Structure 1
Amino acid sequence: MVYTAEHPPTTDREVLRARIPGWGVDLDPNDRPSVPKLKFDPDATGAHWDLPERQPEKWPRERSIEHEMLTPVFGTSTPPRGLSGVVRRYAYRYSEGRAAHWLLLLAADRINAIEGHLISFATLRPDNPITETGIRSEWTHHGYRSRVGTTRVDKSHMWLDPIIVGGPWLLTAALVVRAGRRVLRRR
């Protein structure tokens, strides 16, 4: 098993060399600068356990279908919640080798960002798109001059930045104004 002191059995080197082009080019220790670090010496680690103590699960964790068990230690900073949590849990039904897994996780990140913006409107200090997106710094910190006449590579998509950053805020504002007008007309 991967997380124990016993390593899983490895395939014969000659079989791997025949099957995978270029496999084993770094087998000679003289070709690898990190050889002393790679020597297996179980007494040198100072570990007094075979399998680390397992961290308790406070909620059902996402589990990769490639692994037999959840890693002994895992992150708990952002538990999955809301629609983004549902999408994240659904992503783990797919193998990590499939694009669907990673595209669903990317979509969950975007959904989480939108959820965060919506939640901020319910607080005393909602998000401020002018300061938090860097739009104000375009005028106060020479934003235009830092791009014109330079060899920056991000100049090719500079025209997209206002659309990507400001577009969702402008669209939301337009929808709120439109909804407000409908409410006023009905009254």
Structure 2
Amino acid sequence: MNLRTKDIYVSEGWGIDENKENDPTYPMRNREYTKVPSRPEQQIARVEILQSNERPHYTAVFGETVPPSGISGQLRRYAFQHSESRYRHWLPLLLADRINVVEELVNDIKKGNIPNLFVEMGGRALWKHDKRTLLMKTARYTLCTVAAFWLIGRVFKK
């Protein structure tokens, strides 16, 4: 709900208060208080848009190029059921980002596009400027891969 006061839109609990009598930084900032431009026209949602449960409405403009899908989408839906002040919101979002990378790699391979992971992850730059870091990363990834295959072998052996 927007309240109109002195040609300034104030949204309850969101944004800065443009009223200079209520702005503790006003004497330090030499800024002119002019009319705030009118709110942009609300974009129409054509895909599922996840929003904070602390905001009553969508923002005026939002991205819709990558709607939530798959396991990462389910994790994102779970995360947005919780307050932004909780780990239950942010940790699933971080995990969903990592899972989304794997999902997109699988989609690329299904479409017949084999990604060049060495170049995409900055391997050329590391080889040129920081060979030691590249070797350490390679050793780490190799160790993790060997450990994963070893664990999988032990689980399915039984």
Q: TM-score range by the shorter chain?
A: 0.5 to 0.7
Are the counterparts in 2 of residues 3 and 71 from structure 1 also a CA contact under 8 Å? Answer: no
Unaligned runs of 5+ in 2: 14-21, 154-158
Aligned AA (1:29):
Y
Pairing 1:62–2:46 present: no
Structure with higher Rg: it is 1
Unaligned runs of 5+ in 1: 11-23, 148-154, 180-187
After TM superposition, the structure 1 = structure 2 runs for residues 123-162 of structure 1, keeping only pairs within 5 Å, are 123-139=111-127, 141-144=128-131, 161-162=137-138
Change (3 A) 1:83 1:142: same
Change (3 A) 1:9 1:69: closer
Correspondence for 2:10: 7
TM-aligned CA deviation for residue 128 of structure 1? 2.1
Aligned AA (1:102):
W
TM-aligned CA deviation for residue 60 of structure 1? 2.5
TM-score between the two structures when normalised by the length of structure 2: 0.67
User: CA-to-partner distance for each residue in 1:40-73, whole Å, 9 max, x for gaps?
Assistant: x22xx453xxx43211111231121111111121
Pairing 1:86–2:71 present: no
TM-aligned CA deviation for residue 114 of structure 1? 0.6
Pairing 1:29–2:26 present: yes
Sequence identity of aligned pairs in percent? 30
CA distance in 1 between partners of 2:62 and 2:102 (Å): 25
CA distance in 2 between partners of 1:89 and 1:9 (Å): 25
Select the structure that is richer in strand: 2
TM-aligned CA deviation for residue 161 of structure 1? 2.7
Correspondence for 2:41: 53
Correspondence for 2:99: 111
Are the counterparts in 1 of residues 75 and 93 from structure 2 also a CA contact under 8 Å? Answer: yes
Are the counterparts in 2 of residues 88 and 108 from structure 1 also a CA contact under 8 Å? Answer: yes
